[in-house]
A and B are shown apart, each in its own frame.
Chain A
Amino acid sequence: SAVISQKPSRDICQRGTSLTIQCQVDSQVTMMFWYRQQPGQSLTLIATANQGSEATYESGFVIDKFPISRPNLTFSTLTVSNMSPEDSSIYLCSVLPGAEAFFGQGTRLTVV
């Protein structure tokens, strides 16, 4: 299993600013994932973050908008850059220590 601590749990931000979300895992994991969950919607994968290499982004998501860092095997950050109201969403990090995916509690972002 894995315990994930995600910060902040929520934030209200002004449009045009950036927010960095942190994800800390209690064990070393090779792959970390960042998801977006828009209100009442399913989870959409933003990118996969591997330690020591650039993140792999899914279609519709770009590094300039969602830069990701993965400095070690237990930590990652996702930055939401130049925010607009359309970025209001829940952002979740996830890890796969085995076959099961574990999720952080999410960061509820509101852009005003």
Chain B
Amino acid sequence: QQQVKQSPQSLIVQKGGISIINCAYENTAFDYFPWYQQFPGKGPALLIAIRPDVSEKKEGRFTISFNKSAKQFSLHIMDSQPGDSATYFCAASPSGNQFYFGTGTSLTVIP
């Protein structure tokens, strides 16, 4: 059973556009929701993370929106750049122990 559901599987965005990736979860014990960025041949790297006590977190061009009642969270990449082309994984964790990952979104930003 997939603990964290992620969509879309792939995404193509024009340079300067907004990329939006969505995730949903069921387990209310999850209290930490990170997003990871992975380039080919590299391990995942933490991009941004949020805890359920806030509804939004912004770091530069990257924003997480969190809806606790709907058990959904999303990543927004503003002003998307070709260098943002990568695979993005959402994840959820109960108290920072085991991490459950979404299935990943392959983002391509077209110049």
- Shortest C-beta distance, A44 to chain B (Å), equals 8
Whether A43 and B96, one on each chain, are in contact in the complex, defined by CB atoms closer than 8 angstroms, is: no
- In the assembly, what is the distance between CA of A68 and CA of B49, in Å? 30
- What is the total number of residues of chain A having a CB less than 8 Å from a CB of chain B? 23
Whether A101 and B103, one on each chain, are in contact in the complex, defined by CB atoms closer than 8 angstroms, is: no
- In the assembly, what is the distance between CA of A33 and CA of B104, in Å? 19
Whether A42 and B103, one on each chain, are in contact in the complex, defined by CB atoms closer than 8 angstroms, is: yes
**CB of B46 within 8 A of chain A?**
yes
Whether B46 and A102, one on each chain, are in contact in the complex, defined by CB atoms closer than 8 angstroms, is: yes
Whether B89 and A101, one on each chain, are in contact in the complex, defined by CB atoms closer than 8 angstroms, is: no
**CB of A96 within 8 A of chain B?**
yes
Q: Which of A41, A100, A105 contacts B49 (CB 8 A)?
A: A100
**CB of B54 within 8 A of chain A?**
no
Taking CB atoms, residues of chain A closer than 8 Å to B91 are 101
From 91 to 107 in chain B, residues with beta carbon under 8 angstroms from any chain A beta carbon are 91, 93, 96-99, 101-104
- Shortest C-beta distance, B57 to chain A (Å), equals 14
From 69 to 102 in chain B, residues with beta carbon under 8 angstroms from any chain A beta carbon are 89, 91, 93, 96-99, 101-102
The 5 residue pairs across chains A and B that have the minimum distance between CB atoms = A103-B43, A99-B96, A43-B101, A42-B103, A42-B101
Q: Which A residues have a C-beta under 8 Å from some C-beta of B?
A: 4, 6, 31, 33, 40-43, 45, 48, 92, 94, 96, 98-106, 108
